[in-house]
Structure 1
Amino acid sequence: MEMQKSTPRAQRLVLVPCPCQGHINPMLQFGTFLHSKGFSITIVHTQFNSPSPCNHPEFTFIPIPDGLTVPLATSGNIIAILLAINAFCKASLEHCLTTQVMKQEPEKKITCIIYDEFMFFSAAAANHLNIPSIILRTTSAANFLARITVIELHSKGLIPFPDSVSFDLVPQIHPIRFKDLPISPWDTIEKFMELIIDVHDVKISSAIICNTTVCLDESSLAWIQKHSRARIFCMGPLHKITTAASRTLEEDTSCIEWLDKQSHKSVIYVSLGSIASIGENELAEMAWGLANSKQPFLWVIRPGSITDSDWIELLPQEFREAFGERGFIVKWAPQREVLAHGAVGAFWTHCGWNSTLESISEGVPMICKPCFSDQKVHARHVSKVWKLGIELGDEFERREIERAVRKVLVDNDGEEIRVRAKDMKEKIQVSMSKGGSTYNIVNELVELIMGF
């Protein structure tokens, strides 16, 4: 993506990522872009789940104490972890900025602090030190609106909602059903609301960067801008404005050689992300659905992602014999390279926002099987609004899986999905080309930061 000329590397930006993998990667991608524009980049991060400095030698990485006890850090309760970090880290960040960052190369002033929306303590620290701050949102604008709706419904006593309305549409955010609302499974609704309300308080930040694109989220973005005092910069897909990739799990690149031998747009790529897990019955249904579709598949099965199993020991032996060379199973794949490969014709995904954007950017239709939180919102938009894929039902049954795979890859009733996916890829490419909406917005943001 061609951009305007770089600025001299005399301005330092401090980036504060949220310690969750789906949030770390977009922040580091954005940092790589900003570094290419001439800014000096310092990453201030929690000790919990800290990013690897070796992947970005051009950055300065500084860990700060996060106050987490070992039981909390290992609990898996991300809501409790984020609340604890925000309660503790304002003082940690202020101390870090004044004792380390400002004293390192003092000729480089801190121009701005850019922080993940879930690290909102950063805004208070920046305000205390009279440093401008900018928010990075790593989810879709549609999901942000869904969170606002959750706040409103909870204030009216309508959340939690009874099972009888689970499949009813939520007023004003069609086609989201009550069961699709982005409510965390990790803690009480009260703790979740405490976190989300603070996330949405943006009164002291200068701007909001959204990792999305106007051609996907235009109506949601318009509503957010109308109701926000901070200017919105729609910068996505962030992974497309830089060639940098942030790897956390070891990738098996042998799958690319296997893809090279497959026919054009024939392969279904299956990956349920870095967190989700499934049971033995779900594994068997997935396996036989893929086998019975008669389509080639590349399947990522993350070690430990199958309950009571280290890796693929629970895969039925008959299934392994049935697919032969038509299937390829890896522990982790270079996803961006896979989705860009000409042999990949569809993506079975959990609909995390990074994966969703990567698939849309390459024109790859999706089979959606969301697990929790924002994934459900994205799955509904992929299938019902953008119409770039289909969503599997709750039954998770092999015949449904077989039909879904064949529909998105080869059957005539999936042709409209395939055409729309190709068209959306082209729209994103146009937006990122010179004169396009994303191209112009990116340059406007650089000018704003340089003007602080």
Structure 2
Amino acid sequence: MEQTPVAHVLIFPFPAQGHVNSMLKLAELLCFSGLYVTFLNTKHYHKRLLRFTDAETRFESFPKFRFQTITDGLPDDHSRSVSYIKDLITGIESVQPAFRELMISNNLNSDNWPPVTCTIIDGLIAFFMDVSKELGIPSISFRTTSACYLWSCFCYQNLTEAGEFPFADNDMDKLISCVPGMQGFLRRRDLPSFYRIKELNDPFLKLAVTQTINSTRASATILNTFEDLEGPILSEMRPHFPKIYTLGPLHAHLSSRRTNSFAPSDSSNSLWEVDRSCMTWLDSQPLKSVVYVSFGSIALMTRNEMLEFWHGLVNSGKRFLWVIRPDSVKDNDQKSQIPTELTEGTKDRGYMVGWCPQEQVLVHPAVGGFLTHSGWNSTLESIIAGLPMVCWPVMGDQQINSRFVSQVWKIGLDMKDVCDRLTVEKMVNDLMENKRDELARSMDEISQMAKKSVSEGGTSWCNLEELIEDIKSMKLQV
């Protein structure tokens, strides 16, 4: 009897911390199902993954999993910082011929591995799906952002046809009327950051819109969200997108499948060196007394913005744990003096590190609130931890995420487009005292819904089961 081909998934993320992190979690979830999984990473980011994490040893427990690498199209000495994101995009776009060669070579079929029967490609690099299509391999788009962000990108044509974009004046509080499901609360300033440009041919605007449209040509779309959180927006999207699988929050889904609990693992997918000394410091702090501050893996701030945040945190009188990446301050002069009141205030109540184990920090009993850039991974991690947020969005999807956090879900406060010490001080005090109970009630309700979604029988749990069965059936289409 002829043997049935075996399902083999190739996963390819955009080379950035948040993208690699969430797609590795998806890879591990698929490994539990017994699928063959190849994770294709760029050589530069794979070296960092091996250097700073236990990913290699962690995945050794899955005999049907392997890492593969590909160039990112940039020279070895390139910094690959967010300041050069245009280079990153241009570089990875140039890799399409190398990707095609990899897909048709025997490298992916060697060592008794079956041929690739399905690709899951980051929607930010949806142009790689053209290669899959050419080779007759079904391709699924994975979007690491929120559904509300994706929908606002998809509605670009609505905005231009209605004359709502480009903006005719500087009134950033003017309501946007032509993004279905968001009328009445979405302002200009809440649209993704690239909508603030004046030129329609801006490369970042074109990338976001084009790749969103390209994603709709996939066999299906995977989103790291859950139905109870973004159901109304998902309902708007479904007539326009291929089948949508909501599997999130992925980090909690993975914990649920691993150990039947939501406690974060000690394992990490960080591309930065983790400083765990902050956990010891947190152990010595009172219950719910610490504000955790982190602006993610790529967001940048000016030195003046850093000092305003620092003054606001110290002046609030609250304890704080602040993650400041070595490359996070754009114009930082290491020789410039830090005001004495900041160093003294931090000595008394603060702790600062270059990077930390965020999932563990958020669930630590000493942490009572999160001052965040509103990246989607951070937002979902805060929801699972049940921690209300103050949002200071910087770029991309963060602006619209923060509006939903504050106005729709009511689990945080929005501080976008403002950065002065008085506002920081007020927002921190509102988060930790004045509005604490009100925010906590909303957050507790949504946090419980999130946990239910990734528990056995929940919507995200069942959607993953359906995705796996659909991937198995895709082998028949090759």
- Give the superposition deviation at 1:269: 0.3
The aligned counterpart of 1:249 is 272
Residue 76 and residue 399 in structure 1: after superposition, are their counterparts in 2 closer, same or farther (change >3 A)?
closer
Residue 327 and residue 52 in structure 1: after superposition, are their counterparts in 2 closer, same or farther (change >3 A)?
closer
SS of equivalent to 2:356? coil
Counterpart selection for 1:43 from 14, 39, 42: 39
The aligned counterpart of 2:261 is none
The aligned counterpart of 1:78 is 85
User: In 2, distance between residues paired with 1:364 and 1:355?
Assistant: 11
Please list the CA deviations of residues 409-433 of structure 1 after superposition, one character each: whole Å capped at 9, or x if unmatched. Answer: 122x332111111221111111112
Counterpart selection for 2:387 from 346, 356, 364: 364
Residue 316 and residue 10 in structure 1: after superposition, are their counterparts in 2 closer, same or farther (change >3 A)?
farther
Q: In 1, are the aligned partners of 2:49 and 2:270 still within 8 Å (CA)?
A: no
User: In 2, distance between residues paired with 1:114 and 1:434?
Assistant: 24
Residue 242 and residue 203 in structure 1: after superposition, are their counterparts in 2 closer, same or farther (change >3 A)?
closer
The aligned counterpart of 2:186 is 176
The aligned counterpart of 1:275 is 298
Q: In 2, are the aligned partners of 1:259 and 1:343 still within 8 Å (CA)?
A: yes
Q: In 2, are the aligned partners of 1:349 and 1:370 still within 8 Å (CA)?
A: yes
The aligned counterpart of 1:197 is 210
User: In 2, distance between residues paired with 1:21 and 1:119?
Assistant: 15
Q: In 2, are the aligned partners of 1:302 and 1:311 still within 8 Å (CA)?
A: no
Residue 415 and residue 312 in structure 1: after superposition, are their counterparts in 2 closer, same or farther (change >3 A)?
farther
The aligned counterpart of 2:15 is 19
- Give the superposition deviation at 1:213: 1.1
Is 1:30 the counterpart of 2:26? The answer is yes
The aligned counterpart of 1:143 is 149
Please list the CA deviations of residues 40-64 of structure 1 after superposition, one character each: whole Å capped at 9, or x if unmatched. Answer: 2212234464564634323433233
- Give the superposition deviation at 1:19: 1.1
Q: Name the stretch that deviates more: 28-37 or 52-61.
A: 52-61
SS of equivalent to 2:248? coil
- Give the superposition deviation at 1:34: 1.1
The aligned counterpart of 1:405 is 428
The aligned counterpart of 1:219 is 232
User: In 2, distance between residues paired with 1:205 and 1:394?
Assistant: 36
With normalisation by structure 2, the TM-score equals 0.85
Q: In 1, are the aligned partners of 2:322 and 2:353 still within 8 Å (CA)?
A: yes
Amino acid at match of 1:128: E
The aligned counterpart of 1:332 is 355
The aligned counterpart of 1:56 is 55
Counterpart selection for 1:433 from 455, 467, 472: 455
The aligned counterpart of 2:221 is 208
- Give the superposition deviation at 1:440: 1.1
Amino acid at match of 1:161: F
- Give the superposition deviation at 1:203: 5.1
User: In 1, distance between residues paired with 2:82 and 2:277?
Assistant: 35
- Give the superposition deviation at 1:311: 6.3
- Give the superposition deviation at 1:67: 4.0
- Give the superposition deviation at 1:281: 2.6
Aligned-pair identity in percent equals 34
Counterpart selection for 1:421 from 419, 439, 443: 443
Please list the CA deviations of residues 146-197 of structure 1 after superposition, one character each: whole Å capped at 9, or x if unmatched. Answer: 1123343235664331343322011142422112221438996413343222
Q: Name the stretch that deviates more: 331-340 or 310-319.
A: 310-319
Please list the CA deviations of residues 286-344 of structure 1 after superposition, one character each: whole Å capped at 9, or x if unmatched. Answer: 12211222211111122132344366965322222134332111111111100011111
Is 1:293 the counterpart of 2:316? The answer is yes
Give the unaligned 5+ runs of structure 2: 60-64, 256-266
With normalisation by structure 1, the TM-score equals 0.90
Please list the CA deviations of residues 106-165 of structure 1 after superposition, one character each: whole Å capped at 9, or x if unmatched. Answer: 552312111000121221111111111111010000111111233432356643313433
User: In 2, distance between residues paired with 1:164 and 1:310?
Assistant: 33
Residue 181 and residue 286 in structure 1: after superposition, are their counterparts in 2 closer, same or farther (change >3 A)?
same
- Root-mean-square deviation (Å): 2.7
Q: In 1, are the aligned partners of 2:146 and 2:224 still within 8 Å (CA)?
A: yes
Residue 418 and residue 164 in structure 1: after superposition, are their counterparts in 2 closer, same or farther (change >3 A)?
same
User: In 2, distance between residues paired with 1:93 and 1:38?
Assistant: 25
- Give the superposition deviation at 1:9: 12
Please list the CA deviations of residues 16-44 of structure 1 after superposition, one character each: whole Å capped at 9, or x if unmatched. Answer: 11112221111111111111221222122
Amino acid at match of 2:398: Q
User: In 2, distance between residues paired with 1:199 and 1:361?
Assistant: 27
- Give the superposition deviation at 1:234: 0.3
